[in-house]
Structure 1
């Protein structure tokens, strides 16, 4: 019996060690080959350019930032040329800018981040819920922890198609991505868990308009874009077209048309690489360009939500991985149909970052963004880690199965060896 107990405990220990080894190896990228030697900026830049050029389609703006300065830029297009001043539709990367606009209201004393947002709203209110609505605060909306279950993702509206009003979209979006509920409502206890919500950012857009008393795009230009020198940035598609918008390509590299959105705060800021360089500078520690007092600036990149026990979200920003010098790599990705993908990622302490804006190149921005995070930190970023969970889960179960089978074989052999031999 004692030997069986020891074997049982050894089996549990082996299973625990395999789980810990698999978790560490997955998050630390032990079996992942980096695209360039750590610290070799020139090598990372050149391999990134090779990856961009190998696609041979679409339009791309790529900027690599090192210690607060531009190390290199690369621009390609299968149509009209693009430059650092060409505007791209940023998709959900827009949420980061919107978050800064919300935080500016808090900095000006016009918004309590922890008060119910219903206190500020007159044009639309969240429907009643078994969980109530008083726990829905700006802080929780920014971090996707307000308990909203819309699951949006917006597809947008084709040119010539009537666009919903913001209030109608909040009630039920006519353009949800597949799998989204589309109704902005409280379906989970506020503060209980993380659940991505485009509807939450539509609600923040309404909040900005209600508090400021002006259209969302006008407020953002006055309070965020102009102070940061983001001269081209706009939430107005017509303004973007006039200023010079990158050609739109679908995933096959064919020309397409940009879509309009009922909630541009969540999905359709238009900005150039030059605009985003200035935007990232405002989030670099010690740059002197922040629009926020230090406490609020720090709050944006502090953990406010976690998944699998790992911090994943601040206020308006993803937390991709722990940064080498402390804190986190922050930023945001974006994906709009038909094939728009963007990312901007930053180590606020060192001033190192990457900007990737693309049309017609599905997954290119996220892939290179993930390569940069791994190259800079030696850790797998949260978006890549999330995609690896199914494979890691299979490896976990397979390893446990091997351990259990080995333990069963040992038990059978031991019993056979201990059984009386027949005469």
Structure 2
């Protein structure tokens, strides 16, 4: 009987302690930021000390504080990186596509919550399914909650290969894992499931609404007004002042082109991205609406908001907003990260070509430093941070229970003796 009580007590206390530790992990209890909150100089020095040696190719690292650039650093690579050097930003492209569509909405050319069927052409329509297509809106399309189950990831395409036309890609998109199909596989707005194919559809809609190619629309609506002077969707290997591709060992690699400029094809410089951040921080009606559109929570995982309309929602802020932006990654070792704190007008931009996940790692450290809370991209390491306190706690629980139950017969005996004496 005593053994049964011991096992039950041990199990219950272990579960309670483990739950506390996991709760603490997602709230940053077991992680140490690189610097004290507000100590920007110390944070920048810590990044230089811990991470810049991991750069095997090119890196641009920009920190903004209260709407001003306070640090701008570039790796001393053979490519002579500077603020105007073009980097491929991979999936960060989605953030800019969503911003462009937000501008269309503010101009009254599209209703973000209307059925996308209103804006498609007879040349391409969503394949029939058992789900209500009238619930598929642009807002859901760009937040990966539309019901699309393609899971795209677009394939790297060599320079020598001719890119397919947009309609051809809509009919048979080329995934990094083979061919995929754009179809609705779950009820719209009921779950989050990554869909690069939604951005192919967004391209088609933009071209149908505006009557011009997607690239021209983005230049006219986003890049030129925001003075993003180098941003474009052309093949990087035919341009000047570029960050060449390197693998994780620092070996020079081939550059690729991509089927969907809206999803993964943007090239931009650190100065371009800085201009974008500053534009969002202006505090005028246009920027406030754009932030609202981008950062409204729409996609959830494990009950936590992680995605808005084209933006990742990394962590909530005390004011009820989110640190938002987007990361991107492509082979061989391309990584980009942009984080914006709308409450403080602080931001970080990291661009790398050579160094697996280096940009995302640095940007995640910035998020932890800003808020004390780890962002959702760091989920695995965040949970892992709880393992040591869980293990130590279980050891303490085990030893404490052993000692308690060893002494318990003596306590019972003393209690019985006292009772007899009192009688």
TM-score by length of 2: 0.86
Question: Which residue of structure 2 aligns with residue 204 of structure 1?
Answer: 202
| CA-CA distance at 1:151 after TM superposition | 1.0
Q: Which residue of the partner structure matches residue 360 of structure 2?
A: 366
- Report matched runs for 1:61-72 at 5 Å: 61-72=60-71
Partner Cα separation in structure 1 for residue 398 and residue 150 of structure 2: 42
Which aligned pairs between 1:354-393 and structure 2 lie closer than 5 A?
Answer: 354-386=348-380, 388-389=382-383
Q: Which residue of 2 aligns with 1:329?
A: 323
**How many matched pairs?**
408
Aligned to 1:304: 298
Contact 1:164 1:262 (8 Å CA) reproduced: yes
Q: How far, CA to CA, are the matches of 1:396 and 1:183 in structure 2?
A: 44
1:11-160 alignment runs, 5 A limit: 14=13, 17-122=16-121, 123-160=123-160
Aligned twin of 1:313? 307
* Cα distance in 1 for residues equivalent to 2:169 and 2:212: 19
For structure 2, the 5+ residue unaligned runs are: 413-423
CA contact (8 A) 1:169 1:262 kept: yes
CA shift digits 1:26-51 (9 cap, x unpaired) = 11222212222222110111121233
1:326 and 1:90 map into 2 onto residues whose CA distance is 29
Q: CA deviation at 1:237?
A: 2.1
Measure the CA separation in 2 of the matches of 1:139 and 1:401: 49
Point out the structure with max Rg over C-alpha: 2
Change (3 A) 1:259 1:20: same
Offset of 1:170 from its aligned partner? 2.7
The residue number in structure 1 matching 2:260 is 263
Unaligned runs of 5+ in 1: 419-423
Distance 1:264 1:339 in 2: 19
Q: Is the 8 A contact 2:259 2:265 kept in 1?
A: no
The aligned counterpart of 2:278 is: 281
Q: Partners of 2:76 and 2:207 in 1: how far apart? A: 37
Following the alignment from structure 1 to structure 2, what is the Cα–Cα distance between the partners of residues 353 and 346? 4
CA offset at residue 195 of structure 1? 0.8
RMSD: 3.3
- Alpha-carbon separation, structure 1, partners of 2:107 and 2:100: 11
After TM superposition, give the deviation of residue 182 of structure 1 in Å: 2.5
Q: Kindly indicate whether the alpha-carbon contact (under 8 Å) linking 2:31 and 2:385 is maintained by their aligned counterparts in 1.
A: no
Provide the residue aligned with 1:233 in structure 2: 231
How far is 1:388 from its partner? 4.3
TM-score normalized by structure 1?
0.86
Tell me what 2:221 maps to: 223
Task: Identify the range of structure 1 (247-256 vs 210-219) with the bigger mean alpha-carbon deviation.
Answer: 247-256
Summarize the Cα distance change of 1:24–1:125 in structure 2 as closer, same or farther, 3 Å threshold. Answer: same
C-alpha distance in 1 between matches for 2:101 and 2:304: 25
Tell me the residue number matched to 1:164: 164
Contact 2:97–2:262, Cα closer than 8 Å, also in 1? yes
1:348, distance to aligned residue in structure 2 (A): 1.0
Q: Distance in 2 between matches of 1:24 and 1:332?
A: 25
Give 3-state SS (helix, strand or coil) of 2:125's partner: coil
Match of residue 421 from structure 1: none
Whether the aligned pair in 2 keeps the contact of 1:235 and 1:268 (CA below 8 Å) is yes
